[in-house]
C-alpha cells in the first residue's frame, strides 16, 4: 500500500515539474507530450481520489484532465493563459502528492 502512495506522489511531482517546464517556450511536440502526461496523471490521481473518498480532489483533477486531454484538445491560443493554467495545475499536483502521501 505504501508503495502505491509513493508511486502516486512521484507521478504527481514529475507532472508538476513538466508543467513548470511548459511555462517556457518549448517546441510544439513538448506540449503534446505534456498533454498526454498530465492527462494520464489526472486519471491516476482521479482514481486514487475516488477510492479514498476525496470528492473535491477528484472534481478538480477531473477538470484538469479535461483541460489537458490529448484526444479532444482545448486550444486557448494564448501562451499567457496557458502559463497560468500550467502553474495552477503544477501546484495542484504538488498538493495532491502531499495529500495522497499522508492518507
pLDDT tens track for 80-89: 999 999 999 9
pLDDT at 76 over 80: yes
Model confidence band, residue 53 (pLDDT cutoffs 50, 70, 90): confident
Contact 12, 45 (CB under 8 A): yes
At 77 the three-state DSSP class reads: coil
> CA–CA separation, 18 vs 26, rounded Å?
11
Look up the pTM and report it: 0.91
Amino acid at each position: 500500500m505504501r508503495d502505491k502512495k509513493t508511486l502516486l506522489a512521484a507521478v504527481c511531482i514529475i507532472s508538476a515539474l513538466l508543467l513548470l517546464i511548459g511555462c517556457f517556450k518549448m517546441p510544439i511536440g513538448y506540449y503534446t507530450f505534456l498533454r498526454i502526461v498530465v492527462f494520464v496523471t489526472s486519471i491516476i490521481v482521479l482514481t486514487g481520489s475516488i477510492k479514498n473518498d476525496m470528492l473535491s480532489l477528484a472534481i478538480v483533477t477531473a477538470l484538469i484532465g479535461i483541460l489537458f486531454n490529448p484526444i479532444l484538445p482545448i486550444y486557448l491560443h494564448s501562451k499567457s493563459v496557458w502559463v497560468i493554467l500550467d502553474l495552477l495545475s503544477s501546484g495542484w499536483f504538488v498538493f495532491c502528492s502531499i495529500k495522497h502521501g499522508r492518507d
